[in-house]
Amino acid sequence: MSEPEFISTTRSSYDAVAEEYAEVVGDAVRGNPFARAMMGAFAELVKEAGASRVADLGCGPGRVTAHLHGLGLDVFGVDLSSEMLAIARREQPGLRFEQGSMAALDVEDGSLGGLVSSYSIIHTPPEELPAVFAEFHRVLAPGGCVLLLFFADTDSSQLAWPFDHKVTLAYRLSVDRVGELLRKAGFAEVARLIEQPPADSERGFEFGHVLVRKPVE
């Protein structure tokens, strides 16, 4: 079966600009106290639940993966782009990185303690998000957590607004609508944080951080 076009397009687009993108994007976690706070809370919850493996989905150059490793998690990175993975392996030689899609993870049911998606669901067409969140639910153990970071809006009148990302088509997402999709996928919300854009922001987008947990049955 052929893969969805948006996956092929995202892979090829990041392959084409990997080195430039990795240089420009820098380390968004190290420079953002809000992202660090949410990832710190995520790490504590994962460890409290038993410290199972964690996947960093859409890991890019692996800097979030490295941050999560520094928080004491058994983490590996997953990305569509082989060129981005080459940078991750070069920059983080002690960590594990795999090529794959968050829409179809090569992971057994209930085998992960946590998932982080840092600005990687933004390239998923809105109508595909329920299937992606169902996949997250499949691979998580009961008590496992998901932390999503994405370009956000507090308007709940619709799920998504497309915009011209510098690499490929992307979507700004309604925090409330994303929360509702996660609930329908079987998750319980733990926390959310809405970060206002800095004064020099090019687009003026808000940033959403949503932390959910798979209930223990």
Pairing of strands 170-174, 96-99: unpaired
pLDDT of residue 167: 87
Q: In whole angstroms, what is the distance from residue 145 CA to residue 214 CA?
A: 6
Q: Please state, in angstroms and rounded to a whole number, the distance separating the CA atoms of residues 199 and 63.
A: 25
The residue type found at 169 is L
User: How high is the pLDDT of residue 166?
Assistant: 84
pLDDT in tens, 66-96: 999 999 999 999 999 999 999 999 999 999 9
- pTM for the model: 0.95
Please check whether residue 43 is in contact with residue 72, taking contact to mean a CB–CB distance below 8 angstroms: yes
Contact 133, 173 (CB under 8 A): no
pLDDT reported for residue 27: 67
Can you tell me the distance from the alpha carbon of 148 to that of 177, in angstroms, rounded to the nearest whole number? Answer: 13
Tell me how far apart the alpha carbons of residues 187 and 146 are, in angstroms, rounded to a whole number: 9
Q: Which residues of 77-88 are buried (b: 16+ CB within 10 A; e: fewer)?
A: bbbbbebbbbbb
As averages over each run of 10 residues, the pLDDT of the chain (217 residues) reads: 84 93 77 93 95 92 96 97 97 96 96 96 97 98 97 96 91 98 98 90 89 94
Closest CA relative to residue 118, chosen from 13, 32, 12: 32
The two structure tokens encoding residue 134: 């169902």
Query: Distance between CA atoms of 41 and 70, rounded to whole angstroms?
Result: 14
Residue 26: the pLDDT is 64
> Taking a C-beta distance cutoff of 8 angstroms, is the pair 91, 113 a contact?
no
CATH topology of domain 5-213: Rossmann fold (3.40.50)
